[in-house]
Amino acid sequence: MYISAQYIKLMQKSVIEYLEMTVKAFPNKTAVRDSEMSITFNELWTYANRIALSVNSKSLSNTPVGVYLPKGGKIVVSIAAMYRLIQNRSYRAYANKIHSQRHY
């Protein structure tokens, strides 16, 4: 079996990075469709960011956040938001660690 270098590059990305690349490549393609909704990748990204910002503004650091929704588009948006939130928090934690290690 042959595995291309491009495929290996994609595998090295996180889920949220892969989604972000897809949003840039196919913003107007349908990302999620169910009986209640149909949204594009750009809309998915926008909604996920809004939810992540809202949760982040509640100062819930190190607090579990539960999501209970039936199967469908809304749960996909919520999961993307949680991945986005984790990515933002990981980056901030890393940036704070690097900043605190600097010797001025």
Domain containing residue 62: CATH number = 3.40.50.980
In a domain, 86, yes or no: yes
pLDDT band (50, 70, 90) for residue 7: low
Residue 46 maps to a domain: yes
Enclosing H/E stretch for 11: helix 5-11
> What domain range includes position 74?
14-101
pTM over 0.85: no
Dist CA 91 CA 68 (whole Å): 26
Residue 4 lies in a domain: no
How many separate domains does the chain show? Answer: 1
Query: Which stretch of 2-11, 46-55, 75-84 has the lowest confidence by average pLDDT?
Result: 2-11
The answer to whether position 7 is within a domain reads no
